[in-house]
Every structure is written in C-alpha cells, then in structure tokens.
Structure 1
C-alpha cells in the first residue's frame, strides 16, 4: 500500500502540523535577568487532551464550572482551572485548560488515570457538534516550576516551543510548563538557564508535598469521581468556578449551595504525627470517636483531607487518624472572613 494514501498516516501528519502551530507562542526573553533557584518537576500523573472544533468554547461552556469564554477573549487568562461535574453536581474531573494560538483549539490537562473516562465523557456530550477529542500525551508533557523565593514572580517564556503559564489556582503552586515530549530535563533546564538554576524534585521537596501543605486536592485519588462537590474542593477559592456564566451540567446545585452558604466540609491541609499508607483513604475522628472527615492523600507527615469546617477549626479539638494524633490547618489563601449565613450553617 502507498503509505501516503493511508488515512491514519495522513491524519497523524495533519495533527502534527496543527500541533506545531497551536502551541507556538512568540519568543520572549525575561527582562531583568538574575539568577534564581527553583525546582523543576515533570508531572507524570497528568495528561493533556486536545479539544478542537469551531464550537469548542460553547461546547466546554456547557460542561465546565468556569467561564471558558474568558480564555479565548482579548486579554483573557492563558490558563484556567475548572471542574467537570455529573448531573448531581459532584466533581468528576479536575482540569486546567490552556489557550492556544488556534481559537478553535483548547488543551485540557487532566489526571492520567481518569483520561480515558474524561474523553469518553466529553464525546458523550458532543451530540451533533463537530468536536475532536484526542490525547496528545505522545506530543506534550506537563512540567511544574516552583519554590521561588518570590511566590508572585512571573516566569517568562524562553523558547518558542514552550507554553508557560502561572498556575491558575494559587501562585504558591508555581508555574505550569507544557513542553514537547522530545524536550527532556537537560534541554528544558538549558532553556530556563537565563531565569535561574533548576534542581530536580526530592522526597522532601516535590509538587505533591507542595499541594498537601497548601491543602489542594488533585486527581482521581484525592478527588474521587462523584464523591464531593466543587465548593467542598475549594473551587470557589481556587478560581475554578464562575457564578455569572450560563448553565452547565451540575450548575443548579452548585449555584444553590453557593447562595445558601451551606458548605459544611472543605478540603484542607493536615499535619500528621505518624505516617499513614500513601494513597489510602482513612477517617479522621475526634478522641471520642466522632467522624470528622477523611484523608485522601499524604506524604512526609503532610496530607490533604475533606473535613467538617466548624467542628475541626473552631475550638481545635484533638484529631485522630488510626489512633495517632493529627492537626488540621486553615489554609492561608482562604478568605479572611466568611459570610455570617455560612458561619451559622457550619454550626448546624
């Protein structure tokens, strides 16, 4: 068979050509060059999905919690945090969306273990829209830069084949970098040589531990599909939900919870006095044995847990996990005060 007549080969070539155009952004060296130290880590548990089509924005607008139209608007953000919900308003997938130079294409980063289900979920809602949903895992890798001395510092884009964007949730979570898969550690660190000196992640300094210290859950293990609501996962505090946009799947309950203020549980960081099984989900109780929440991830005596706010933070009772003490911490990035109606609801 003539190779050029193979439709799969032709499609692969077309995708590769499109790929080169969509993520290529103008080369710009950072101003005011000074040497810095930072940690650079590949995110092996994250995968990129390409969603392409003339109606990509209205398509995603009807599924995601955030206002997707902003990402393609003039002066809009380069990246955006959003959840995809089921009809009951519970979180199915947590994602970060990325703008490309093609207005008909948006890249979506999701948990690798949930990637197949996520793509199936998107295709279910295409109906008659001409929307393509494909993994670009063999083309791009997600990286993260963090541990800057100045958490608000902006990282410039040093290479035309890279896409660089601050984490849309918290500045403390660093900067996301999308790089071609053929750009390994050595090439990537060389690209950022003018910005500073990169060091690899270690067991006591890595992205997972950084998230746990901030109390940010991510992925299907820490945000199990169908188990929590977006506001319990702090989507409202992490710039992940819009209350001004139109309808989307799960919007009714999300809006009702927001306006009523009845949010009894939220994800927050915990400190452990003894290690627990990594990746395990264990109950957090009071000394008397009352159930107060559940741990969804832990590492190096830090973890992230979904806890009852009023019972855990007011009065700071002794907390226990499997017979060992632990401590809940109020994230610094939470609003200073909560509306009165919410405070009353927590006391319920």
Structure 2
C-alpha cells in the first residue's frame, strides 16, 4: 500500500472508487459470509484506534528517544513492517501504547493509538519536537485500522490475494492476536471482504459476542488503550511489554528508560496483567480479592465471560487461582505465551534482595 501524503491524489482516488462501485447491500455481504470455506476469519474495524502520521528527516532519532522499542529496526531491509512500543512519562510509567508502522517513505511512519488519547499523544509528540523538522498529524480521514483473525486455527494470509491498496502486517505482539489491516477510509466492510475473497481463499465474517477482538485480547491477557492501561499508573513490564516484544534493553536512552532497565535487571516485578475467567456478571466493584478477602488486584475491563486484570503474581500464580470479583468467583489464568519459569525467576530475584 502506498501511504501517500498527496491529498489531491487521495481525493481523486476516493472519487474514482465511489464512481465505479458502491458497498454491497447487507444481503450480499451475508451471502458472502455464508459460503463454505476452509479458513473462517473474523474481520473487525478497530473503531477505538486511530492513526497518527509522523514525518520528517529526523523521525527515527525523534521517536527513538520517546518509545520503549528500537524504531531503527523498521529501517532495516529485513526488519519488521511494524513494532509494538510504549510511551512513558519521566517516572517510567506507561502513558500510551502504540503500534508503529513503516511506510514506503523512509521518513514517514504511522503510529496507531487509542482514539481517546490521540490529541494528547500528538500534543506529547509536539512538546518534544523542539526544533526538529517533524510533521505530526492525524490521518483518521485517510486510513482506518482493522484486524482479521482466526482464533485457534492460525492467522496466516500467505495464500490470499489481497488488494494492493491494503497494508497487511501480523500483530507485532502475538501471532494469536491476528493481522492488522490498514485500509483507506472509503473501503468499508463489504469492500474489504471482497478483497479477501478474490479467489475464494478466505471465509470472512463480522465480529460476534463469541468472536471479537476485545474478547480475543482478554483471553490472552493483553491490555490496550487508556482505559485498560491508564496513563501514569502501571510500569511497562507490568503491562507485559517485555513478553510482547515491546521493549528494547539495548537501544540506549529514552524517556523512562532508567526505571524500566532497573526493574528488568532486578527481576522483581510484583504485578502483571493477566486474563481472568468469570463465572458471573461484574456490576460494581472491580477489585479482585482472594477467597480470604485480601486485595490482589484490579479489573480493567470485561466482556462476555472474560476479563483483564492487573494482579499480584506471587499470590495468584503460586497460591489459590480461584478469586472473587464483585461477590462472584473467578479464575486467574497464566497466559500460554508467558515464560514457563517466570515464577521461579521471580523467587530467585527476591532471595537475592
């Protein structure tokens, strides 16, 4: 996909697309979904996410000093097409989470962020721009992020003939979180489905209460956005950024780096985000307690029978994983993508303090 800055070209492209076709009616879309296929995927727009364009000759050193990951990796010919990273405050606590996408222009990068935090993040970027010739603006009216995933059955689109105007990249955090799709704003759900159905490779359906992106994330224990990662509250390693390939411990200095490095090398991380399986509805209290009544953490989101919580590792994983939320029993789960020897490493670190 050519992430072009030329607005005249973009308007012309939109006019042409609208002139030569319209979105298929709902009946047509449903017929497309119901066709049999070996690979059934869920395609969902990320309505709570927004894209920010950062452009300039000094864009790499500019971003390098602000985020936890190594942005220079995106410049390598064999480097990834996207990386996960966090913006921290001076105290080393998380402000905003982001996925950074490279484009065809080596001086232009797209930053995906929480829509509610977009204006604050742009203000944050402009504060540290100083005299660098860096342009920062929202491209919400140009591109929209989507996610396509196939829970439990793999998330590869290698055999699909995808429309060239789409930017496709695996989620840089976990393969199980699916594939990010950056699409022009004029491409609605129907057009995107057609682009994945060119040779009948994929069966694509809309999100449902039983299959949607938030539920997928909660099952994996991955937080996203300012409601789940409240600005200035948690540490990047509490948000599992080290396990999600979101922190580089070799790239050098960046805002909040000192505390992050110290916590990493000490090995003492008392809390982490984990998935929780609920047995009843959560109405009021978001406090997670043990059966004995001790506070063990806080719930930051829930949907269906799953929730996301920041919990004390030692008490939960090495103790009773049956917990209480809002008077109902629930069960903490260790994500399958965590290191197997996580708790033993923590005990070793504590013994050396």
Equivalences for residues 188-227 of structure 1 within 5 A = 188-193=192-197, 194=199, 195-227=201-233
The offset of 1:133, in angstroms, is 0.6
Shift in Å at residue 308 of structure 1?
0.2
**Equivalent position SS for 1:92:** strand
Alpha carbons 2:322, 2:332 under 8 Å: kept: no
Within-5 A mapping of 1:167-206: 167-193=171-197, 194=199, 195-206=201-212
Tell me which residue corresponds to 1:238. 244
Give aligned pairs, total: 323
What is aligned with 1:332? 336
* Alignment partner, residue 113 of structure 1: 116
**Other-structure match for 1:93:** 96
Q: CA deviation at 1:337?
A: 1.1
Tell me what 2:21 maps to: none
Secondary structure at 1:268 match in 2: strand
Q: What TM-score comes out, normalization by structure 2 length?
A: 0.87
User: 2:44 pairs with 25, 41, 46, which one?
Assistant: 41
In structure 2, the gaps of 5 or more residues are 14-36
Given candidates 282, 290, 300, the residue that maps to 1:296 is 300
Q: Deviations over 1:25-79 (max 9, x none)?
A: xxxxxxxxx8521000000000000000001111000001000000111110001
- Aligned with 1:221: secondary structure? coil
CA contact (8 A) 1:282 1:321 kept: yes
Q: Secondary structure at the match of 2:119?
A: helix
1:344 Cα offset (Å): 3.8
Matched, 1:320 2:320: no
Q: What CA distance in whole angstroms lies between the structure 1 residues aligned with 2:277 and 2:344?
A: 29
Instruction: Please report the RMSD computed on the Cα atoms of aligned residues, expressed in angstroms.
Output: 2.2
How far apart, CA to CA, are the structure 2 residues paired with 1:272 and 1:143? 28
Contact 1:37 1:148 (8 Å CA) reproduced: no
Cα distance per residue 1:253-281 (max 9 Å; x no partner): 0000000001010001001111114xx77
The structural deviation recorded for 1:338 is: 2.7
Secondary structure (helix, strand or coil) at the match of 1:219 reads coil
Q: TM-score, normalised by structure 1?
A: 0.88
Paired position in structure 2 for 1:126: 129
Provide the rounded CA distance (Å) in 1 between the counterparts of 2:12 and 2:311.
45
For structure 1, which runs of at least 5 residues remain unmatched after alignment? 1-11, 22-33
Hey, what does 1:250 align to over in structure 2?
A: 256
Once the 2 structures are TM-superposed, how far is the Cα of residue 319 of structure 1 from its aligned partner?
1.1
CA distance in 1, matches of 2:5, 2:333: 51
Report if aligned partners of 1:272, 1:303 keep a CA contact under 8 Å in 2: yes
Of 311, 314, 320, which aligns to 1:310? Answer: 314
Q: Distance in 2 between matches of 1:58 and 1:218?
A: 25
Q: Secondary structure at the match of 1:209?
A: helix
2:274 equivalent in structure 1: 268
Deviation sequence 1:165-194 (CA, Å, 0-9, x none): 000000000000000000111111000003
Q: 2:108, 2:194 → 1: CA distance?
A: 29
> Does structure 2 conserve the Cα–Cα contact (< 8 Å) formed by 1:215 and 1:331?
yes
Change (3 A) 1:165 1:16: farther
What's the offset of the Cα at 1:343?
Answer: 2.1
Give the alignment partner of residue 76 of structure 1, picking from 48, 61, 79.
79
SS at match of 1:59: helix
Name the SS for the 1:118 alignment partner.
helix
